[in-house]
Amino acid sequence: MERKRLLYVVSSDPLVSPFDINMAYDAGFDAVVPYAGVAVSAVRGFVQDVMFSRGPKGARASAIFFSGSDLTAAEGMLASARAALFDPFRVAVMVDPRGGYTTAAAILGKVAILAPTRGLKDFRSLRVLVAAGTGGVGKTAASMAARDGASVVLTSRRAETAEAAAREIASLFQARVEPRAAATESDLARLASEADVILATGPPGVQLLSRRSIRDLRGPKVVADVNAVPPPGIEGLEPQNDGVEMAPGIFGLGPLAIGGLKFQIEASLLKDMLTAGAAPVIDSRSARARADELLASR
């Protein structure tokens, strides 16, 4: 009997993002079942219900995707799922909180390729500034950059918020980043002047650095912005820019250039959940590795 390929999207948020549901259907799942408002404590039992309901031969046709905006909750869900899995009932599992892991992987993958072609050194010697980095993408990008060997500064308007983000990053990803307050654009521009790479990861429609602040920077530097909602986080950075020199020695990566790779990463990982021989467990490291694989194949 051919089994329907089912994906359960589990989130601690009150609503499950339609973004992940749409991508899962496009990847080839026959049905996608959303579960919102799920507590971490409920995940172990949930996973085993999914495993046992289809038997050893049917378990591989089920998969579970952990989403939600709370990184700590999403990682807690993944840990609970790992603890619940055992042969011969293993199901595929993936975590990508509000797309943060695949988006951050796309940013870091593109920066790692672009930087040495624009006069910057090996990534492990770079100074990376994650501006307005207390959201999911910012914290994940900061952790990935630190794990790749860069020196990372993460900013928030308030020192205590930046410090809380740095503690969460250390706890979840065993990565060290330096928290700094940047209450004004002048504060942020000062920190940007000391960095080789500036990642704008603020909320949609919030400008972080003006055109004048960018012009005042001394290159070579790479600046990237994940915000596709006008106005951009970096004024003058066009959504489709992919390494374009937007000011002397300042090279930009826009949200559409980043987003194109993000889509490819998530789509390919979702397909792995369907087609990999053994049921995979896909986490932030998987996303980062897939970014490099896709870029190397171009």
Q: Which of 45, 72, 95 is the last residue of a domain?
A: 95
| Total count of domains within the chain | 2
* Res 84: pLDDT: 96
* Res 86: pLDDT: 95
Tell whether 28 and 77 lie within a shared domain.
yes
Mean pLDDT of 196-223: 96
Q: Which 8-state DSSP code applies to residue 226?
A: -
In a domain, 110, yes or no: yes
Residue 21: which CATH number? Answer: 3.40.50.10280
d(CA 131, CA 192): 9
Q: Which of 198, 249, 243 is nearest to 225 (CA)?
A: 198
Q: Where are the alpha helices (DSSP H) in the chain?
A: 18-27, 43-52, 55-58, 71-84, 100-114, 136-147, 159-173, 185-193, 211-215, 255-275, 284-296
In a domain, 281, yes or no: no
Range of the domain at 26: 6-95
pLDDT at 242 over 80: yes
How far are the Cα atoms of 4, 130, 143, 176, 276 from residue 61, in angstroms, in the given order? 7, 39, 32, 38, 11
Helix (H/G/I), strand (E/B), else coil: 180: strand
Tell whether 64 and 43 lie within a shared domain.
yes
Residue 209: which CATH number? Answer: 3.40.50.720
Q: What is the pLDDT of residues 2-16, one digit of tens each?
A: 889 999 999 999 999
* Res 64: pLDDT: 98
Tell whether 107 and 88 lie within a shared domain.
no
The torsion angle over the Cα atoms of residues 134, 137, 142 and 143, rounded to 10 degrees, is 110
Which residue's structure tokens are 């709370």?
A: 70
Q: What is the pLDDT of residues 27-79, one digit of tens each?
A: 999 999 999 999 999 999 999 999 999 999 999 999 999 999 999 999 999 99
Tell whether 57 and 192 lie within a shared domain.
no
Helix (H/G/I), strand (E/B), else coil: 198: strand
Strand ranges of the sheet holding 62-66, from the earlier edge strand across to the other edge: 31-35, 6-10, 62-66, 92-95, 281-282
First and final CA of the chain: distance in angstroms? 39
- What percent of the chain stands above pLDDT 90? 96
Tell whether 79 and 107 lie within a shared domain.
no
Mean pLDDT of 230-252: 96
* Res 1: pLDDT: 63
Q: Which of 37, 65, 95 is the last residue of a domain?
A: 95
Average pLDDT of every residue of the chain: 96
Tell whether 36 and 107 lie within a shared domain.
no
In a domain, 275, yes or no: no
Q: Which of 46, 62, 95 is the last residue of a domain?
A: 95
Mean pLDDT of 135-158: 97
* Residues 6 or more apart in contact with residue 10 via CB below 8 angstroms: 35, 38, 43, 46, 64, 65, 66, 67, 68, 77
Mean pLDDT of 75-100: 97
